Amino acid sequence: MKSQTLLKSVSLLSLLLMFSCFKDKKTEYASAEEIPVSREMIAELTAPPHVPAPVGKRKAKKLIVKMEILEEEGEITDGVRYVYWTFGGSVPGSFIRARVGDEIEFHLQNHPDNKLPHNIDLHAVNGPGGGAESSFVAPGHEKVFSFKVLNPGLYVYHCATAPVGMHIANGMYGLILIEPEGGLPPVDKEYYVMQGDFYTKGANGERGLQPFDMQKAVDERADYVVFNGKVGSLTGDGALTAKVGETVRLFVGNGGPGLVSSFHVIGEIFDKVYVEGGDLVNTNVQTTLIPAGGAAIVEFKVEVPGTFILVDHSIFRAFNKGALGMLKVEGEENKKIFSGELMDNIYIPEGPGIQTMPTTDEIKESDIPAKSFAEQMEFGKQIYGQTCIACHQSEGQGIAGAFPPLAKSDYLNADVDRAISAVLHGLSGEITVNGEKYNSIMTKQMISQEEVANVMTYVYNSWGNNKTVVTPAMVKKVSGK
């Protein structure tokens, strides 16, 4: 009897102690401020579109972030150079990944070759200026400050040195992800995409080194609206990739400084949107608004193969100013979800006339006529990126069933004058290209004869075509017919 009584007493005591431990633990972690850190670790930082490994279920740590500020020249689009101010040498800046309860020791280093002082305002910080007041750093110096991570979410960081808008407009922004305790649910692919608007003295596409234009920025008249710092950063070899059946998570930010983003993936529906990067989750979303200085997390499963286009759905920004990217999905087709083209019939209720764009009597000639084959190729690539890439794609592959390929095109290579005429005057009706029939309408292109010669030379000397060099005289001859 005594032994049974003693056993019951020990069991009761164990339960009380266990309950006490759970209660104490709950009290201990009542707020993120009270979560203890276990040890130091150096933060993994990544350049876009890549992100560091997920936090998972690791304990809170003292996280050492070392970020270098670099002022360096790069290309905003072909032939157009710009001096970017960067966090970590990329636009947007390096992606930072942490968890609630981490204590972040931030080292901001201003490279000695830089010309200006800078600082950093992290929207994930609870403190004056988001760290800006503690991080103002001159070239050749380093500032260190620390903060406790209290709130989960996806947050923007940016430079806040006066004039603040100018520093942001030159590329000084990025994202910091604070995962909840236990981490985010696992997915197959994660990518980092951030929109920004740029303001240059020259017009869109004007070649050479372009300085920042403060008046355009104040008026919010952006020359370029781009993903990840430049036109075409997420196309061609830079396109995002996935396989059929995979889940994709995009960490999408908007550095601004001036424009709101209407983020959309053509051909996909967002299964989940973490609105403004916070706890609120919307489902089955087509397009999500991301304010300047804000972010969102979008997730979706890719069901069929193909190229899916990322855009700011303020659509002229996508097709005319650069806010366009690609997600290339490989895998088996699923005809139950998407059949592809089933039928191609002629339907012309308004007559057979070719659609044309409104025009004026004056078309401005290229300011810098090409003087060599190399210049024609350079200028032609630029025009192609501005006017042709959306339909015919970055490597001339076209879009099956809709827009014919320009790569290894028997239609183009058979008759140069006919190809020039299609650019000058438009084209409609059925044609056959590389054995496939197409019956769409191409409107005439509002570009100068010099630009037609350049872009046609670029096309003919790319992707396995016959290397014809098209001159302005050839274009003029076809134009007069």
pLDDT digits (tens, 9 = 90+) for 394-414: 889 887 767 899 999 999 999
Are residues 470 and 382 part of one domain?
A: yes
Are residues 222 and 146 part of one domain?
A: no
CB atoms within 10 A of CB 309: 20
Report if residue 268 sits inside a domain.
yes
Are 89 and 130 in contact by the 8 Å Cβ rule? The answer is no
Are residues 299 and 162 part of one domain?
A: no
Q: Say if residue 264 carries a ligand binding annotation.
A: no
Report if residue 7 sits inside a domain.
no
Q: Which of the listed residues 179, 210, 225 is the one where a domain comes to its end?
A: 179
Report if residue 152 sits inside a domain.
yes
Are residues 240 and 130 part of one domain?
A: no
Report if residue 304 sits inside a domain.
yes
- Confidence band (pLDDT; 50, 70, 90) for 24? very low
- Over the chain, what is the mean pLDDT? 89
Are residues 221 and 280 part of one domain?
A: yes
- Confidence band (pLDDT; 50, 70, 90) for 362? low
Domain count, the chain: 3
**What pLDDT, on a 0 to 100 scale, did the predictor assign at position 359?**
54
Take residue 203 and report the two structure tokens written for it. 């017009």
**What pLDDT, on a 0 to 100 scale, did the predictor assign at position 119?**
98
SS3 letters across 157-179: EECCCCCHHHHHHCCCEEEEEEE
Distance CA 396, CA 168 (A): 35
Report if residue 366 sits inside a domain.
no
Report if residue 129 sits inside a domain.
yes
Q: Is 57 helix (H, G, I), strand (E, B) or coil?
A: coil
Report if residue 296 sits inside a domain.
yes
Are residues 95 and 225 part of one domain?
A: no
Q: Say if residue 167 carries a ligand binding annotation.
A: yes
Q: Which of the listed residues 330, 346, 363 is the one where a domain comes to its end?
A: 330
Domain with residue 405: its CATH number is: 1.10.760.10
Domain with residue 130: its CATH number is: 2.60.40.420
Q: Say if residue 107 carries a ligand binding annotation.
A: no
Mean of pLDDT values over 152-170: 98
Are residues 302 and 254 part of one domain?
A: yes
Q: Say if residue 111 carries a ligand binding annotation.
A: no
Are residues 168 and 137 part of one domain?
A: yes
Domain residue limits at 69: 34-179
Q: Say if residue 442 carries a ligand binding annotation.
A: no
Q: Say if residue 172 carries a ligand binding annotation.
A: yes
Q: Which of the listed residues 298, 330, 362 is the one where a domain comes to its end?
A: 330
Up-side HSE of residue 278: CA atoms within 13 Å toward CB?
6
Q: Say if residue 392 carries a ligand binding annotation.
A: no
Are 387 and 379 in contact by the 8 Å Cβ rule? The answer is no
Are residues 283 and 311 part of one domain?
A: yes
Strand ranges in 53-141 using DSSP code E only, listed in sequence order = 62-77, 80-87, 96-99, 103-110, 121-122
178-230 pLDDT tens trace: 999 999 999 999 999 999 999 999 999 899 999 999 999 999 999 999 999 99
Distance CA 160, CA 435 (A): 57
Report if residue 279 sits inside a domain.
yes
Are residues 266 and 234 part of one domain?
A: yes
222-258 pLDDT tens trace: 999 999 999 999 998 999 999 999 999 999 999 999 9
Residue bearing tokens 């209407």: 262
